[in-house]
Amino acid sequence: MATASRRRRLSLSLMFLIPGLSLSSWVTRTPDVRDELGASTAEMGLILFGLSVGSTIGIASSGALVARMGTRPVIGGGTVLIALGVAGVGTGALASSAALVTAGLFVFGLGGGSGEVALNVEGAEVERLLARSVMTTLHGFFSLGTVLGASLGMLATAAGFPVQWHLLIMSGVALAVFLAAFGDVPGGVGKRAAADEAADAAEDGDGTAAGRPLWKDARLLLIGAVVLAMALAEGAATDWLPLLMVDGHDLDAALGSLVYVGFAAAMTVGRFCGAFFIDRFGRYLVIRTSAVSAALGLVVVIFVDHPVAAGAAVLFWGLGASLGFPVAISAAGDSGPNPTARVSLVAMIAYGAFLVGPPGLGFLGDHYGLRSAMIAVLALVATAIFLAPAVGERRPAVADVKNDPENARKSGAENAPRPGAAPADEAVDEAAGADRDR
């Protein structure tokens, strides 16, 4: 069973890696795609809007799909769409067709958005079973994928390798990793969790809380506001950082891609180290410190007219943005009954940033320059500093609460099993085995 548990977590980690690898492959070639299309900054914003619309539709539908079918088919379908979307962008670049690139980004966003909730529901369940922070590490694999993809994109850019063939190759790589990893993704996770939550609510007589619309949950909405700000900080860099460094700080395309690699590397370090700091200092302090770091990086990039200083500040931007999304998703998942719906709602709010971000920043950038456009991002990140207490702390594991009602009234930090404790690992193993038998 221990082997089954490790295979489950490794498989989930690889499924998180694929979207990062695919996304950064496109992002680092954004200047080349723009040149192939002959598009202006505002036109690129509209092209990126295809990604945002696809993501929003995917994220809006995925909660219901997970509740109906479980996470496995949604993760699988979403990942295939991601690979097809990358291939579509490459085909559009080959044909110099803005419509095809937009359509490819739409398909990419549809796959990424639909798979996002399913991946996070699966990760949130593992985190609840283990009663320790694992979500940041899983998102760390997404960031690791961005580092790998961005590094390859930077090398391809420097070598003048045609963008269309680069993206078509990366689409094939994404499919290969998917085929290797998908077999160990368990089935039935989302719908089983929803049924368990309904049963628990009925047993506890908590019908009022369970039936209350989630949009009336003030704390959940504040968590959503935090993730909106931090997702915009991450998404603004993903969508615009290479062009920001090229157009705003006069770097060439290869160096602009190198700066994005630095951002992705900082995100990766922050996420792989995040669990250590969250378990010791709590979500609230980690989120507030992260927002301060992101704001500091943005201030230098926006207001300091020096490319070296701006490039270094991007590291603070990346470190700060790294933990906002996973920590907020984790907080939403244990903020009350029906974690699948809560994760879906907060993820949907986050994707609001991706919906309005690309065209909004593109419009501002076309009129005032991309550096000035980032002031809007800075303002939202600054609000996250003050809203950080909303994320609270982790609750006890579900198993601990059921076995010892007294523990339900204490904080998760005081009662959570020690990292690596056997009961939690056995619970993950049993869940993995049961899901595979479904």
Region 323-344: mean pLDDT is 81
Which CATH number do you get for residue 389? 1.20.1250.20
Q: Residue 430 falls within a domain, yes or no? A: no
Instruction: Name the band, by pLDDT with cuts 50, 70 and 90, for residue 211.
Output: low
pLDDT tops 80 at residue 41: no
Per-residue pLDDT reduced to its tens digit, 123-171 = 877 777 776 777 888 888 988 898 899 889 888 988 889 998 999 999 9
pLDDT tops 80 at residue 438: no
Q: Residue 88 falls within a domain, yes or no? A: yes
pLDDT at 100: 92
Please list, in sequence order, all residues whose beta carbon lies within 8 angstroms of the beta carbon of residue 118, skipping any fewer than 6 positions away: 62, 65, 66, 71, 72, 74, 75, 78, 190
Question: CA neighbours within 13 Å on the CB side: how many for 235?
Answer: 31
Q: Residue 433 falls within a domain, yes or no? A: no
pLDDT tops 70 at residue 48: yes
Among residues 226, 214, 221, which one has the least CA distance to residue 336? Answer: 214
Q: Residue 194 falls within a domain, yes or no? A: no
What share of the chain has pLDDT > 70, as a percent? 81
Question: Worst-scoring range by mean pLDDT, 143-157, 263-277, 386-400?
Answer: 386-400
pLDDT tops 70 at residue 4: no
What is this structure's pTM? 0.72
Q: Residue 192 falls within a domain, yes or no? A: no
Q: Residue 41 falls within a domain, yes or no? A: yes
Q: How far is CA 22 from the centre of its chain?
A: 13
Number of domains in the chain: 1
pLDDT at 290: 94
pLDDT tops 70 at residue 120: yes
pLDDT tops 70 at residue 212: no
Question: Worst-scoring range by mean pLDDT, 205-214, 293-302, 414-423?
Answer: 414-423
Q: Which domain holds residue 230?
A: 2-185+213-393
Q: How far apart are CA 95 and CA 267, in angstroms?
A: 34
How many degrees, rounded to 5, is the angle at CA 170 between CA 167 and CA 173? 160
